Structure 1
Amino acid sequence: MNLPPLKTLPVFEAVARLNSFSLAANELHITQSAVSHHIKTLEDHLGEQLFIRSGRKLELTTEGKLYLDNITGSLNQIARATENVKGVTETKLRLAVYSSFAVYWLIPRLPNLKRQYPNLDLTIEMTFSEPELSDRTADCFITIESEKRGFDFEWFYTERLFPVCNQSFYQELLSELNVFSDKELQHELKTNPEVLARFPLITSYSMYESYAEDWRRWFKEQGKELPDDINFHRFSHLMLAHEAAAHSLGIALVNDYMFNENDPKDGLIKLPCVAHNAEDRFYIAYKHSRRHEPALKQLRHWLRNELNELT
């Protein structure tokens, strides 16, 4: 078995994670020169440079990133196996989620998670783009990715978008369309969905990586083309579109986890018309080799139970 000098591996992991020789030395309670010696020993054994050093800047090489990704899981497994033998149950877990999901759906429910599993020590890693599925990033993910070697994926929910506006804007809409009840508005929007184009519409780039594409698809599902003369307010992210609607800027398309129809704390009203069924399917992702870990099983169980509010 051609193993590297095993003492060098925790040092390499610490330097890569902290991006610093000095911080790794402090964490490991050794000198900085000892850290440098361990890294050199490992590089000599591998025959590859693991870090690029440019003044104070430290960066993993391509080989270093690949090696780190491969050994991090193994080091974690060794640590967990040791704790199991010693009778210690690991309760720490890192969950990587999209920013809007974290802010609007997950964080308001964390008190319920804490009550159900008081010993679960959960760290939330918020991402603004698709997170890298790796132990270096987190232990569990909410992601739209559905395939990676060594990972299990559990369907979480399929995204829907529907038009919302705030209370005052809703009253203006009723007045402008000369309707006097939700039922009349529902009939009007079903018969003539293009009347929404008479009002400012809020669009976000992040959903389809193109402004107005969200509304184009919504109109298409109503059998209509996107009108040419719409007054659009453009925002890079769905979170900003949601907040713009809450502040009377117009009508936005938001998704299930950003809107609670039974308890709309943000003052938004869901317009009585059909939703757009988006293509994105969300999954709970985790390493297959870790599927039986108690903390991970607890989190997955809780997320599946909470899913009932999204479907």
Structure 2
Amino acid sequence: MVSLRALHAFSLLARLGRASLAADRLGVSPSALSHLMRKLEDELGAQLILRDGRGLILTEEGQRLALGLGDAFDRVEEAVDTFRRRGRTELRISTVSTFATRWLIPRLPEFQKIQPDVEILLSASTRMVDLEREHYDCAIRLGTGNWQGLDSVLLWQEHLAVAVAPALLAEHAAGGPSVLSRLPLIHSAGRRGDWPLWLSSAGLDHEDAASGMVLESRDLAIQAAIAGMGAIAVDKRFLTKEVNAGHLLLPDWPVVELETGYWFVRSPARPLSRPVGAFRDWLQSTT
């Protein structure tokens, strides 16, 4: 009998298109995934995968098998997941890490007070999940809201404001925003364009707006700013706790509005459950 685990691995690889993603989803190493593929090929007596320097590619036989399998494993997972959740009210949310750690999690106790029976499962990732096929009830995404086939509700339009540790700003007190030419600039890896955009919009020149420390995330960049390692350009909503505690200052300098924003999104193909509707309404009232 053909190995169901190997078939599941093949189905994930065919759908996700990358061996690393399929291995991560299956909970195995890429080498273990490759072993499963060879095992499946041996059992079926056909080559399903082409292996070259670009990665793994489905052969014509592999494409035929993938088409035949369809979403069978997704439906099995959904059935098992639904069975496991019987008697429980879950709300499965996908979002980006900065929104989760800097804004959502500190406020979730408020939502739990009004929906005490809802069990929240929160996933923070840069990956854009498929809300029709993956086991998430809703997501909070950063973008312009033009995601085809999804219901989208704007929570807030993003902006950029400058924040600096009080001690660092005191060392360079005179000169208003022009003081930034003498301050180190802090960047997050995925937002290297924020400082050049803010400086340009504020009409300021800088010798090298892309220079300065680069951190993996905005959350780490904020921590570096608190430590006095430089100035940061970020949405003020992510700094409420630090500003109230006096760890960061928001000088009265220009605030630059961006085209992107944070959106609540869900698939209209799924019924609007009570937890999802309550979460959406709470987000709108809170933001």
Fold-level similarity (TM above 0.5) = yes
For each residue in 1:250-305, what CA deviation from the matched residue of structure 2 results, as whole angstroms up to 9, or x when unmatched? 11112133111796347111121011222322211111022421111111111111
Aligned residue among 199, 211, 215 for 2:195: 215
Contact 2:172 2:179 in 1 (8 A): no
Aligned counterpart, 2:37: none
From the superposition, tell whether residues 303 and 51 of structure 1 become closer, same or farther in structure 2 (CA, over 3 Å): farther
1:36 equivalent in structure 2: none
Instruction: Give the alignment partner of residue 120 of structure 1, picking from 103, 118, 121.
Output: 118
Partner SS, residue 203 of structure 2:
coil
Partner of 2:219: 239
Could you say what secondary structure the match of 1:125 adopts? strand
Cα separation, partners in 2 of 1:109 and 1:228, compared to 1, 3 Å: closer
Q: TM-score, normalised on structure 1?
A: 0.64
1:156 corresponding residue in structure 2: 155
- What is the rounded CA distance, in whole Å, between the counterparts of 2:68 and 2:142 in structure 1? 23
Deviation digits for residues 70-108 of structure 1 (CA, Å, limit 9, x no counterpart): 87479759987x99xxxx776212111111111111111
Which whole-Å deviations, capped at 9, do the CAs of 1:20-74 have from their partners, x for residues lacking one? 79xxxxxxxxxxxxxxxxxx9xxx9xxx99999xxxxxxx977759967687479
- 8 A Cα contact 2:242 2:248, kept in partner: no
Question: What residue in structure 2 maps to residue 206 of structure 1?
Answer: 190
- Mark the runs of 5 or more structure 1 residues left unpaired by the alignment: 1-7, 22-39, 53-59, 178-187
Tell me which amino acid in the other structure corresponds to 1:122: I
Give 3-state SS (helix, strand or coil) of 2:140's partner: strand
Paired residues for 1:7-22 under 5 Å: 19=26
Asked if structure 2 preserves the Cα contact closer than 8 Å seen for 1:206 and 1:237, the reply is yes
Unaligned runs of 5+ in 2: 13-21, 29-39, 51-57
- The answer on 1:140 being equivalent to 2:138 is yes
Letter of the structure 2 residue corresponding to residue 96 of structure 1: S
Change (3 A) 1:292 1:262: same
Contact kept, 8 Å, 2:159 with 2:255, in 1: the verdict is yes
User: d(CA) in 2 for partners of 1:72 and 1:229?
Assistant: 47
What's the % identity of the aligned pairs?
A: 21
Deviation at 1:149, TM superposition (A): 4.3
2:278 matches 1:298: yes
How far apart, CA to CA, are the structure 1 residues paired with 2:47 and 2:274?
Answer: 37
CA RMSD of aligned residues (A): 4.0
Deviations 1:106-147 (A, max 9, x none): 1111111111100111101010x2422234252211113534
- Amino acid of the structure 2 residue aligned with 1:295: P
